[in-house]
Amino acid sequence: MKLESQTQNIARAVKRVCDEYHSRREKLLQILEELNELYGYLSEYVMKEVAKNLDMQVSEIYGVATFYSFLNTKPKGKNIIRLCQTVSCELAGKQRIANALENELGIRFGETTPDGMFSLEYTNCIGMCNQGPAMLINDDVYYNLDPEKAVDIVEKYH
Amino acid sequence: MPNMLAVCINGKECEVEFGTTILEAARKMNIHIPTLCYHDDLCLSGICRICLVEVDGEKTLQAACSAPITRPLHIRTHTEKVRKARRNILELMLSNHYGECYTCFRNQNCELQKLAKEYGVDSLRFGHVELPRHTKDTSSRSIIRDMDKCILCRRCVRTCHDFQGVGALEAAFRGIDTEIQTFLDHPLGDAVCINCGQCINRCPTGALRERDRSDEVWNAIDDPQKIVVMQTAPAPRASIGEEFGLPPGTSITRKLNTALKMVGFDYVFDTNFAADLTIMEEGTELLTRLKDFIVDKKPVSLPMITSCSPGWVKYCEHYYPDYLPHLSTCKSPQQMFGSLIKTYFAQKIKVDPKNIMVVSLMPCVAKKYESDRPEMSASGFKDVDYALTSRELAQMIKETGIRVTDLEDSDFDSPLGLGSGAGLIFGATGGVMEAAIRTVYEIITGEEVPFENLNVIPVRGMDGIKEAEISFQKTKEDWKFLEGKTLRVAIAHGTANAKKIMDKVASGEAQWHFIEIMACPGGCLGGGGQPIPTNENIRKARAKAIYDEDSHLNIRKSHSNPQIQMLYNEFLDHPNSKKAHKLLHTTYTRRGKI
Amino acid sequence: MAGKRKQILFSALEPGLGLKKALEHTQTEIIDIIKLSRLRGRGGAGFPTGLKWDLAYSAKAPKKFIVCNADEGEPGTFKDRILLNEHAKKIFEGMAIAGYAVGSQEGIIYLRAEYRYLRPVLVQAIDELRKAHLLGKKILGSDFQFDIDIHLGAGAYVCGEETALIESLEGKRGEARNKPPYPTESGYMGYPTVVNNVETFCYVPYILIEGAAWFQKFGTFESTGSKLFSISGDVKKPGVYELEMGTTVRQVLNLVEASDTKAVQVGGASGICVAEKDFDKPLAFESLPPGGSIIVFNRSRDMLNVLKNFMEFFVEESCGQCTPCREGTFRLLEGVKLMEQGQCSIHYLRVLRELAETMKISSKCGLGQMAPNPFLSIIDNFKGEILARDRVTDSIPL
């Protein structure tokens, strides 16, 4: 019973987002981004509902969702930390930040903390090359990092 | 007058229309350019890059398949740059392909293997795959996927998505992680796959194939307790010769009969017989629906739609479940046949049906799924035990060393071995419709259809959607309610065309009474179980062979088939009788489209 | 010597003045002005902007689109971030002028997901421009209408390629299309579409105000105007600099106070890596194509590490549709790893070099064609370093 109302809520939310974009095919990416933001990832059910609303093949939605690195088809942590791994940040000492974050969170890159609070990922260039090392936590950008500063920032998200 | 442009390829000059691709121009000039992601049936992709050529004035090489000619061009197709590039690209593909050719069913019919030979690949500088990295997906009743063989040409994706309008397969992830997957990589058996197998026909390698049942069939043949009955569908006869090196469009019906007996089948029957039976049942069903509608004003599901194509049936179950009542309740000829073998025929030869094994030769991989449907066993026994594709049967024959082309002709066995020309043309798009019209018109008016030599030309041909109208005059007493009425029919082949038809039906825009839909392009002759390769010319040649054979037969109308008349007299009573309904009709299942 | 510092984009601009000037001209006059200025695309490829607009102008269609490519993802590039953050109105004014010139009423800015935090800035700028009648209906009291929609990317470097960007705008996988047809003929939703880089649009209002002849005075004959450079790496003063086209690498190094420089990567990961012998070459389309990024490496850096970082980038960012790019980037990276382990023979290095050359001419889009650039330039320009440390051996058989 409870499960049913939960799926109904999701279906309603998906419909609302799709309606916002007039269920237009070309707005798929924007729709997926909003839903990804809402639920943290695009579940099987969400993708199926989007397919229904947009009258598309669900496999195509899956193809799009897996193409982009900011869309997830598997559950992620509440906060996603994306440490820039590209060359300028590497020169500026990205590895030390990476080590500090792994130690602080007790997970490796590509993993999510058991409490579901953080996912730790690498990302490619985020355009903060003059102030590296840099990272994104969700939509927030942090730069000129040192290990201590990085850990302090992450703690604020607990 | 179209805008013509001068093109020079390898020093040969030619004029082509503006927008012609380099590949088309080269073919016109008889210059060979290798291709891989390109397929005659599919939209352009330009991703494998094997068809690269050098164009003067361009810094990069151009993909011949997708580069339109929009100015006069000088093109060279085998310069050092081109040769090196093709060799590199080929080796890159091979480095990521599990190339165990001698265990691959596409051995000697593989486009990748052929290219490796063409380009003299004698080393694999970028290495090769030592061990399989994927598990084969054997979840589907019809289609096996082996992603270790996939080279990401995406022909299957374009076939499934664009050509057939199904979309079970899609490219997922990106870069080196790109893979062809179903939604969430679910097993194919759980995906919205209609089992049409068109992807198999267009796969350049062995990444896709049918579920091979020839071992089981051999076991049955080897078992002295078993009576093994073979039924052969109309389409494979006009195509299986291709597996033995004959040109497309060579019909070998009667030589095949001889071969099948030599292979060890106890009886060889003709599915055309069951096709005739289908016409009797389906024609009667149509007339009943029309009568209910016109005379009795009952709510009936019109238009009625054919149900012979198991790919189409599953498509309808997934995508148009609300329209399942429109499907004829008739089983397909394959299943009707199986059902009769296990009842009527078993009684006739006084053998317990449990000792009879029905094997069918089909142009189709969806027939495998159909024969495994739980509802297909009204007699208490599975109607059809194994459905073999043209390719599997050809393989079995090759294994015996029999040279089909050298054999004497022989006839089908009796009493289920006589089929009319109407049953035969079931193998081509429009054929079921034509067969139905030949019979229904005569039932209603007592006269033959008003087309020269019974050839109902408007329903023939390779147009994706065909329409026709037949008016009834001078109707017989029982059919007076149809006097002056016009029967409107439509035909679609390929499920992308089926979608167009169904959307018109759904919107009420079109007013058809009867629709024939085949899942495969060209109808069964272009089926997913047919010899590889396929393209429109090959399909046209097969169609021609089928229509030619029909035109030379004495019996060309289903209701004139004496064995059909005998079957009703001895066993079924009359079309749509209670017994016929039990054995020859079926039900459908609503399935989601996602 | 501080190099030739002449500023265009970083000088003040009265909002709307460029657009006002534009509306005094006919469409073809504007296109002629841009052609005469010889402005070339600032995204990297350097396609003549005036010609691109002319092609879109000449295409007959009921609708046309102006797309701003704000998918800045080239490693080491952050100039567009500064423009988006601090000069958004210049971008939008340039887009509006482009819209007027080619006959388009709809603009879209494709903003990379990594810059999502800049979205409010852009929304505000668009609002203010609407209020000032510089966007929306009846722009500056004329009959011209033009508005701009913000479209967010979702994390894919390849969407910086214009046809991949259009696919992405249409809600698809960001996979490059076959060209032709070019976007100016058939782009977004099949309509003629102009795709220009953020920086390119910014120059437009200046050119309209000051004239083509003024713009031509900056830079070289083939590369007119100034250019923004994102400078990072081993330098004292990293940041975005506006320099005249034609400035040499050495001038740049002096300006940003780089010392002990061994190598300079010009144009990001898809650019080329030059050694000291080339430091006096000018940064211009006809010499060292400038892209937007300069990354400086001092003598303590291991060029093989640098190369590995670049190749990892391309392996992750290749869209995966065409064979040479998908498989080739992967094989080059594997090769670099072999070198790292001292397991790569000279012979295999030659094989990889040939592969890289093949990728340049056989990949479907710019990404795949440029992906081997760092491999080739680092292997060629730093051969001594690569070979010296016994990383490439002759003793290992194939």
* Residue A89 C-alpha, separation from nearest chain C C-alpha, in angstroms: 8
Scan residues 232-291 of C and list those with Cβ closer than 8 Å to A: 232-234, 238-240, 265, 269
Judge if C199 and C271 occupy the same domain: no
- The DSSP bridge partners found for residue C195 are C67
Judge if A83 and A50 occupy the same domain: no
Which residues of chain B are at the C interface, by a Cβ-Cβ cutoff of 8 Å? 44-50, 52, 59-61, 63, 66-68, 70, 81, 84-85, 88-89, 92-93, 95-96, 123, 125-126, 151-152, 154, 171, 173-178
Which of B169, B184, B503 is the best mutation test for A, with the most CBs of A within 10 A? B184
A96 falls within a domain: yes
C9 falls within a domain: no
A72 falls within a domain: no
Which residues of chain C have a CB within 8 Å of the CB of B67?
178, 180
Judge if C283 and C319 occupy the same domain: no
* Number of Cβ pairs < 8 A linking chain A and chain B: 43
Boundary (domain end) residue, out of C163, C195, C216: C216
Taking chain C (398 residues) in runs of 10, the rounded mean pLDDT of each run is 63 94 97 98 93 98 98 96 97 98 98 97 98 97 97 97 98 96 97 98 97 95 96 97 96 97 96 96 94 94 96 97 98 95 91 97 97 97 83 53
Which residues of chain C have a CB within 8 Å of the CB of A129?
75-78, 230, 232-233, 238, 293, 295
Judge if A41 and A110 occupy the same domain: no
Domain ranges of chain B: 4-78, 92-210, 214-273+334-406
| pLDDT, tens digit (0-9, with 9 covering 90-100), for B349-382 | 999 999 999 999 999 999 999 999 999 999 999 9
- The DSSP bridge partners found for residue B488 are B469
- The DSSP bridge partners found for residue B469 are B488
Cβ contact, residue pair C173, A67, below 8 Å: yes
| pLDDT, tens digit (0-9, with 9 covering 90-100), for B534-556 | 999 999 999 999 999 999 999 99
DSSP calls for B299-348: ----SEE----HHHHHHHHHH-GGGGGGB--BPPHHHHHHHHIIIIIHHH
Judge if A31 and A97 occupy the same domain: no
Largest Cα–Cα separation, chain B = 80
Judge if A35 and A91 occupy the same domain: no
A73 falls within a domain: no
* Residue A4 C-alpha, separation from nearest chain C C-alpha, in angstroms: 30
pLDDT of residue C393: 60
B385 contacts B214 by C-beta, under 8 angstroms: no
Cβ contact, residue pair C233, A91, below 8 Å: yes
pLDDT bracket for residue A2 (50, 70, 90):
low
* A124 inside 8 A of chain B by CB: no
pLDDT of residue C1: 34
Cβ contact, residue pair C230, A129, below 8 Å: yes
Boundary (domain end) residue, out of C182, C216, C250: C216
Cβ contact, residue pair A88, C189, below 8 Å: no
| pLDDT, tens digit (0-9, with 9 covering 90-100), for B296-343 | 999 999 999 999 999 999 999 999 999 999 999 999 999 999 999 999
Which residues of chain B have a CB within 8 Å of the CB of A66?
172-174
* Residue A21 C-alpha, separation from nearest chain B C-alpha, in angstroms: 22
Judge if C380 and C321 occupy the same domain: yes
Judge if C272 and C337 occupy the same domain: no
* Residue A83 C-alpha, separation from nearest chain C C-alpha, in angstroms: 12
Cβ contact, residue pair B60, C329, below 8 Å: no
Judge if C356 and C271 occupy the same domain: no
**Token pair in block for residue C91:** 């971008």
Interatomic CA distance for residues B41 and B20, integer angstroms: 17
- Which of A48, A67, A73 is closest, CB to CB, to B594? A48
pLDDT of residue C354: 97
Judge if C252 and C341 occupy the same domain: no
CATH number of the domain enclosing A147: 3.40.30.10
Interatomic CA distance for residues B129 and B135, integer angstroms: 14
| pLDDT, tens digit (0-9, with 9 covering 90-100), for B411-462 | 999 889 999 999 999 999 999 999 999 999 999 999 999 999 999 999 999 9
Known catalytic residues of B are 282, 285, 308, 328, 367, 370, 375, 524
DSSP-derived 3-state class of residue C335: helix
pLDDT of residue C290: 87
Q: What does DSSP assign to residue C340? A: H
Judge if C324 and C263 occupy the same domain: no
Cβ contact, residue pair A67, C295, below 8 Å: no
Count structural domains, chain A.
Answer: 2
B388 contacts B361 by C-beta, under 8 angstroms: yes
Q: In chain A, whose CA is at the least distance from the CA of C168? A: A29
Q: In chain C, whose CA is at the least distance from the CA of A60? A: C172
* Residue C132 C-alpha, separation from nearest chain B C-alpha, in angstroms: 43
Which residues of chain C have a CB within 8 Å of the CB of B81?
361
DSSP calls for B374-404: TTS-TTSS-S-SEEEEHHHHHHHHHHHT--G
Burial of B545 (0-12, 13-18, 19+ CB in 10 A): buried
* Residue C397 C-alpha, separation from nearest chain B C-alpha, in angstroms: 11
Which residues of chain C have a CB within 8 Å of the CB of B95?
327, 331
pLDDT of residue C44: 84
- Dihedral sign, Cα of residue B493, residue B497, residue B501, residue B503: positive
pLDDT of residue B229: 98
pLDDT of residue C2: 37
CATH number of the domain enclosing C289: 3.10.20.600
| Residue A18 marked as a ligand binder | no
pLDDT of residue C42: 95
Q: What does DSSP assign to residue C137? A: S
Q: Quick check: B31 pLDDT over 70?
A: yes
Class (C level, CATH) for B92-210:
alpha beta
| pLDDT, tens digit (0-9, with 9 covering 90-100), for A83-133 | 999 999 999 999 999 999 999 999 999 999 999 999 999 999 999 999 999
**Range(s) of the domain holding residue C294:** 226-298
A145 falls within a domain: yes
Q: What one-letter code names the amino acid at C11?
A: S
A74 falls within a domain: no
C82 falls within a domain: yes
Count structural domains, chain C.
Answer: 3
Judge if C61 and C144 occupy the same domain: yes
Class (C level, CATH) for B214-273+334-406:
alpha beta
Cβ contact, residue pair C318, B174, below 8 Å: yes
Boundary (domain end) residue, out of C257, C274, C298: C298
Which residues of chain A have a CB within 8 Å of the CB of B173?
66-67
Q: How many CB atoms lie within 10 A of CB B173?
A: 17
pLDDT of residue C398: 40
Judge if C75 and C188 occupy the same domain: yes
* C171 inside 8 A of chain A by CB: yes
- Which of B166, B171, B192 is closest, CB to CB, to A63? B171
Judge if A84 and A134 occupy the same domain: yes
pLDDT of residue C3: 40
Beta strands in B155-195 (DSSP E): 170-172, 179-181
**Range(s) of the domain holding residue A59:** 2-67
CATH number of this structure's domain B4-78, picked from the four choices 3.10.450.50, 3.20.20.80, 3.40.50.2300, 3.10.20.740 = 3.10.20.740
Judge if A85 and A130 occupy the same domain: yes
C40 falls within a domain: yes
Judge if C246 and C198 occupy the same domain: no
CATH number of the domain enclosing C354: 1.20.1440.230
Which residues of chain C have a CB within 8 Å of the CB of B49?
322-324, 362-364
Judge if C307 and C294 occupy the same domain: no
pLDDT bracket for residue A158 (50, 70, 90):
confident
- The DSSP bridge partners found for residue B389 are B362
C5 falls within a domain: no
Chains contacting chain A through 3 or more C-beta pairs under 8 A: B, C
Interatomic CA distance for residues C7 and C89, integer angstroms: 18
Average pLDDT, integer, range B160-175: 97
Which residues of chain B are at the A interface, by a Cβ-Cβ cutoff of 8 Å? 161, 166-174, 181-184, 191-192, 594
Judge if C276 and C316 occupy the same domain: no
Judge if A86 and A132 occupy the same domain: yes
